[in-house]
């Protein structure tokens, strides 16, 4: 019998990955919950019989995933704390993967259209007057001609994410934030290349106001139609500005 | 003047975070692309004038995000490679955040409904016969009474993710995979508590076949209606089995 029939390659799981697996398993089993504190680095290393650098690497990964927040200092109260804020990591992951062309800006735009159509339909059913008012204030601030394109883009994000969050589905709010963040830098850059960014800004603000009118009037289908056109038209204007000859790239 | 008016707290960015920022920036600027190799750990440490553990921590985080794959060995060809497979990290992040109750199974279900309604409408417009055939084969394999609930659940995932991927939006496929993975373990566990899992399986298979019929008949609206009912009903049957008294938990 050939050695290959007797032996299979040993699965090499690196030490920090084993630490990671153990902590993840505790969370998945519900034994570690949001707010709980992990043992300190040294104590974890002793319990798991691994080196402190291996523990630290695992903690870094969990921090990057928004699962734990870093502990500071030393002593019994110094361990990392289990949190549960997935927003930054989803944003970072999507942003880097857009940059690496794992998927395109168009694909991000298409997913946004679907989620935003849903968000405004829900909003038209359920938004309370004070939530509408708070979105109206975002639109009012977008009218300020003195703010930068980047600040304008952030308010734009506040409008779309605020609408999604108001619908009461935390995952929808999180995805919307991540999808917007993923294209923020590219959007701001492209904005500066538009031949008439001011008029584009005016158009976007009017469209926001119209979407909000439809939501306030409980007309979910109209709001969905408007938000789709709003997103697709803006995406297409960015695309065509990118293709215009003679523009700086 | 009080010292607090003169001084602001120093922003403490840990060393590995600075390494991370520099690599992320190179990716966002397009100077590092998928397939590129990073310098080896030692060389990176020298260029950035930081310790090797700090470099290693940053690389671990990038690996966990699916941005780089680990390098092995030493020498010039040993550096980590830039990849761009975001699927595992999105799954892990969503799974852990469901476990930490950052959002609920219901919220995951609601997002799935929206994305799947879109997926089947697109599929009804654009699926080629061989793609329909490949989904028919998944349905056929689900009919096998001898496979475990876990294997059944995996084929179920193949059906939904396969439909999404066939639509040609890579981000949609990725999100669908991550959303399914996030609830796989919980779904399989709850499945085992159903009073009559066999008849539930039969019902799910028939529903898949009906969705596929609508897609093949280019009836996107019917497919969307069917897929929504399919997802909502299954979710509700899991919910009610969880609430049934006398069931093991």
Range from A151-165, B70-84, B167-181 that averages highest in pLDDT: A151-165
Q: Quick one: pLDDT at residue B17?
A: 87
> Could you tell me which residue, A151 or B241, shows the higher pLDDT?
A151
- Which region among A19-28, A72-81, A100-109 has the lowest average model confidence (pLDDT)? A72-81
Indicate yes or no: pTM above 0.90: no
Mutate to test the interface with B, among A20, A102, A165 (most CBs of B within 10 A): A102
Predicted local distance difference test score (pLDDT) of residue A243: 65
pLDDT in tens, B53-78: 999 999 988 888 888 887 665 555 66
Class of domain B87-243: mainly alpha
Q: Mind listing the pLDDT tens digit for each residue in B180-206?
A: 887 787 778 877 888 888 888 999 999
How far apart are alpha carbons B100 and B96 in whole angstroms? Answer: 6
- Determine whether the interchain pair B100/A82 forms a contact, defined as Cβ–Cβ distance below 8 Å: yes
Nearest to A105 by CA among A179, A155, A166, A31: A179
Instruction: List phi, psi (to 5°) of A94.
Output: -65, -40
Query: pLDDT: is B93 or B236 the higher one?
Result: B236
Comma-separated ranges of CATH 1.10.10.10 domains in chain A: 14-82
Q: What is the DSSP letter of B76?
A: G
* Residue B60 to residue A172, Cβ atoms within 8 A: no
pLDDT tops 50 at residue A248: no
Nearest CA in chain B to A189: B29
Contact check, Cβ <8 Å, B100/A27: yes
- Of residues B65 and B50, more confidence is placed in B50
Closest CA to B18 of B42, B37, B45, B39: B45
The stretch A102-119 carries a mean pLDDT of 90
CATH number of B12-82: 1.10.10.10
Among the partner-chain residues A102, A108, A172, the one whose CB lies closest to the CB of B111 is A172
Residues of chain B with CATH 1.20.120.530: 87-243
Whether B242 shows a pLDDT value over 80: the answer reads no
What ipTM was predicted for this assembly?
0.81
The domain A14-82 is classified under which CATH number: 3.10.129.10, 1.10.10.10, 3.50.50.60, 2.60.40.10? 1.10.10.10
Q: Quote the CA–CA distance of A66 and A58 in Å, as a whole number.
A: 13
Which ranges in chain B are annotated with CATH 1.10.10.10?
A: 12-82
Contacts of B172 in chain A (CB under 8 A): 107, 110-111
Name which of B26, B99, B118 to mutate to probe chain A: the one with the most chain A Cβ atoms within 10 A of its Cβ: B99
pLDDT at B222 over 80: yes
Q: How many CB pairs under 8 A join A and B?
A: 152
Confidence band for B90, pLDDT divided at 50, 70 and 90: confident
pLDDT at B42 over 70: yes
Please tell me the predicted confidence (pLDDT) of residue B249: 41
B198-220 average pLDDT score? 95
B103·A170 Cβ contact <8 A: yes
Distance CA B156, CA B231 (A): 11
Mean pLDDT of A148-168: 91
In this structure, what are the phi and psi dihedrals at residue B210, rounded to the nearest 5 degrees? -70, -40
Residue pLDDT, tens place only, A21-33:
898 888 888 888 8
Model confidence at B93, pLDDT cuts 50, 70, 90, reads confident
Q: How many CA atoms lie within 13 A of A224 on its CB side?
A: 13
């Amino acid at each position: 019998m050939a050695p290959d029939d007797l032996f299979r390659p040993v699965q090499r799981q690196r030490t920090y990955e084993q630490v990671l697996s153990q902590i993840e398993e505790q969370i998945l089993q519900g034994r570690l919950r949001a707010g709980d504190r992990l043992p300190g680095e040294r104590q974890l290393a002793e319990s798991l019989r691994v080196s402190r650098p291996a523990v630290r690497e695992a903690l870094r990964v969990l921090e990057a995933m928004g699962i734990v927040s870093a502990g500071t200092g030393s002593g019994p109260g110094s361990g990392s704390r289990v949190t549960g804020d997935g927003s930054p990591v989803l944003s970072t992951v999507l942003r880097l993967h857009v940059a690496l062309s794992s998927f395109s800006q168009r694909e991000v735009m298409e997913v946004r259209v679907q989620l935003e159509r849903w968000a405004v339909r829900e909003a038209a059913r359920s938004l309370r007057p004070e939530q509408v008012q708070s979105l109206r204030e975002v639109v009012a601030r977008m009218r300020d001609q003195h703010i930068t394109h980047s600040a304008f883009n952030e308010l734009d994000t506040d409008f779309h994410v605020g609408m999604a969050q108001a619908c009461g589905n935390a995952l929808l709010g999180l995805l919307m934030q991540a999808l917007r963040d993923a294209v923020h830098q590219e959007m701001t850059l492209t904005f500066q290349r538009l031949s008439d960014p001011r008029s584009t800004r005016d158009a976007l603000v009017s469209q926001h106001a119209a979407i909000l009118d439809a939501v306030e009037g409980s007309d979910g289908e109209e709001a969905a139609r408007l938000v789709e056109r709003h997103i697709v038209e803006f995406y297409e204007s960015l695309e065509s500005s990118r293709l215009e000859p003679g523009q700086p790239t």
